[in-house]
A and B are shown apart, each in its own frame.
Chain A
């Protein structure tokens, strides 16, 4: 579904993503784990069309999308839930969801969108009572749920999530990740980026460890969870001998 080959991204002359290759297959949850500043957001923003690659190719559903405009990428069914939620703060929650469904509503799928909205309220019951509030007035956890719902309502083929746990209390993180597990069971394809390794590795099928713009490790969830380097550097445990 998504394949990235030799991707390099620069800010001016500063190279932040230094030649990474990876893929995401249909129905998988793939996670990229990395410390603050490793280049996770830069990678996702490039995939979503917000940044242009300096080198390398990005293929999504057999089309080259490296350097394409964000709205063209979105129209192909790739959705980014950006770091820090990035709701439209002065729009109501309902309007945020409508904007998530912008392309569908434009195609006249009003009833379909309304039906999917109901389903999303089952996944995130906290959203419904807030529908007519300004999105900016919601708590961080509620905003994250709206941000995810806003992406889901577009019926994405591939969901990119940039640190959904950022700045949230453990209880809320739990409910967000519970929702991710439900979404996985419905067959949604997700590329998840996390600083907190146990969270990211906990829900994924496969993972990559990003260090200073390069992959240090890659493997299945179990391989990574057992890898001494991951245990030590990312899970804070001393490796068992």
Chain B
């Protein structure tokens, strides 16, 4: 029983990370039908840049977080401008390759700058597990869940209550009509790309104290999050996050009670099964429901 509870709790924490990254995919997809296929590497870069700011420079973790997001946001604007826009404008699908190429470039750069060895980032709230009715929970795991949920709420507030957020949704609904309103849809597209990078990097720095930071940390994670985004239905932000949580728990249970090797294949198996039944994902709307 204790084992089960423990598995479920850390599953939720892992799932919250998957969820954040998966939502990152949906942010760009909803606004401009573009996916950053290298998003997993932005997770890694977030952890690495965070390591430098927080551990090497000794900055307060909140300041390191902000600094890291500024760096990744800036990179996001640049990456969109030079590796996505030219292809989208030419009506070509080459952005599929170029977004991935940027990710691979990040891995190489990380190996050069930070080396291949895992780097430890101390947990933000202390190392020792908190004992709760005989169950040990790591404070960092609790932090992950709370902060990830807070980010999702903040994202929702942004979309529902701010003028810019409403413009994001308008652009997602119709780029043409949004343009007629005077909304600079070009700028919205690059902001969305930067936002996705920030979300991924945020998840990376949040999870690094649990998993260690190393150049390959985001590769599989990015793929799993992609599967989750598809399972949830690419445009359904909240639904995707919930899928992420469920996925984390399921993964924990399967690898806890069956064997660990199964962990990395369930995502795509599930994705294929879900797409058979609901081609637009669990929470995505069918084309005819959209009108």
Identify the A interface with B (CB < 8 A).
48-50, 69-71, 74-75, 79-80, 82, 86, 88-91, 95, 98-100, 102-103, 105-106, 136, 150, 154
Q: Smallest distance from the beta carbon of B70 to chain A beta carbons, Å?
A: 23
19 CB-based A-B contacts, threshold 8 Å: A50-B179, A50-B180, A69-B179, A70-B179, A70-B185, A71-B182, A74-B181, A74-B182, A88-B170, A88-B173, A88-B174, A89-B291, A90-B173, A91-B166, A99-B166, A100-B181, A102-B167, A102-B181, A154-B181
Q: Is A99 touching B176 in the complex (CB atoms < 8 A)?
A: no
B166 / chain A contacts, CB cutoff of 8 Å? 91, 95, 98-99
Interface string of B176-220 (1 = CB under 8 A from A): 111111111110000000000000000000000000000000000
Chain A residues near B185 (CB-CB < 8 A): 70-71
What 12 additional pairs, Cβ within 8 angstroms, besides A98-B166, A99-B183? A49-B179, A50-B179, A70-B179, A71-B181, A74-B181, A86-B177, A91-B169, A102-B163, A102-B167, A102-B182, A136-B291, A150-B181
| Contact yes or no, A91 B182, CB < 8 A | no
| Closest residue of A by beta carbon distance from B175 | A70
Are A82 and B177 CB-contacts (below 8 A) given A89-B291, A91-B166?
A: yes
Instruction: Tell me whether A99 and B181 are in contact (CB under 8 A).
Output: yes
Docked pose: A71 CA to B180 CA in angstroms: 6
A121 to B285, CA, bound (A): 33
Measured between C-beta atoms, what is the minimum distance from B156 to chain A in Å? 14
* B interface, over-half SS: helix
B183 to chain A: which residues have CB within 8 Å? Answer: 71, 99, 102
Interface string of B82-106 (1 = CB under 8 A from A): 0000000000000000000000000
CB distance from A214 to the nearest CB of B (A): 26
B179 and A88 contacting across the interface, CB-CB below 8 Å: no
Task: Tell me the bound Cα distance from A71 to B183 in angstroms.
Answer: 6
* Separation of A124 and B215 alpha carbons in the complex (Å): 60
Most chain A CB within a 10 A radius of its CB, from B166, B169, B179, B182 = B182
Residues of A within 8 A of B163 (CB): 98, 102, 105-106
The interface residues of chain B lying within 8 Å CB-to-CB of A105 are: 163
How many residue pairs link A and B with beta carbons under 8 A? The number is: 66
Beta-carbon contacts under 8 Å, B47-87 to A: none
Residues of B within 8 A of A95 (CB): 166
Tier of interface size on chain B: 10 to 19
What's the minimum C-beta distance from B238 to chain A, rounded to whole angstroms? 14
Q: Lowest 7 CB-CB distances: which A-B pairs, in order?
A: A70-B179, A74-B182, A103-B182, A88-B173, A71-B184, A99-B181, A71-B179
B243 to chain A, nearest CB (A): 21
Interface hub of A69, A80, A88 (most chain B Cβ within 10 A) = A88
Say whether A79 contacts B180, CB under 8 Å.
Answer: yes
Q: Is there contact, CB below 8 Å, between B186 and A86?
A: no
- Cα A91 to Cα B168 with chains together (Å): 11
Does the CB pair B180–A74 fall under 8 Å? yes
CB <8 Å contact, B170 and A70? no
Q: Closest CB-CB distance, B152 to chain A, in whole Å?
A: 19
A80 and B166 alpha carbons, distance in the complex (Å): 20
Q: A69-B186, A91-B166, A106-B163 are in contact. Are A50 and B176 (CB under 8 A)?
A: yes
Q: Which residue of A lies closest to B186 (CB)?
A: A69
* A154 close to B173 (CB less than 8 A): no
Q: Is B180 in contact with A90, judged by CB distance below 8 angstroms? A: no
Please tell me if the beta carbons of B177 and A154 are within 8 angstroms of each other in the complex. Answer: no
- Closest beta carbon of chain B to A134's beta carbon, Å: 12
Q: Report chain B residues within 8 Å CB of A75.
A: 182
Cβ–Cβ < 8 Å partners of B169 in chain A: 88, 90-91
Name the B residues within 8 Å of A69 (CB-CB).
179, 186
Chain B residues whose CB sits within 8 angstroms of the CB of A49 once the complex forms:
179
Q: Is the CB of A74 within 8 A of B170?
A: no
Given the complex of chains A and B, what is the CA–CA distance between A74 and B170 in angstroms? 16
Q: Which of A88, A90, A98, A103 contacts B177 (CB 8 A)?
A: A88
- Which residues of B sit under 8 angstroms from A86, Cβ to Cβ? 174, 176-177, 180
Are A80 and B180 also in contact (CB < 8 A) when A89-B291, A102-B163, A106-B163 are? Answer: yes
Task: Report A-chain residues with C-beta under 8 Å of the C-beta of B181.
Answer: 71, 74, 99-100, 102, 150, 154
- Whether A154 lies near B291 (C-beta < 8 A) is no
A105 to B183, CA, bound (A): 12
B159 to chain A, nearest CB (A): 11
Across the interface, which residues of B come within 8 angstroms of A100, CB to CB? 181
Closest A residue, CB atoms, query B169 = A91
CB neighbours (8 Å) of B178 from chain A are 99
Closest CB-CB distance, A7 to chain B, in whole Å?
Answer: 19
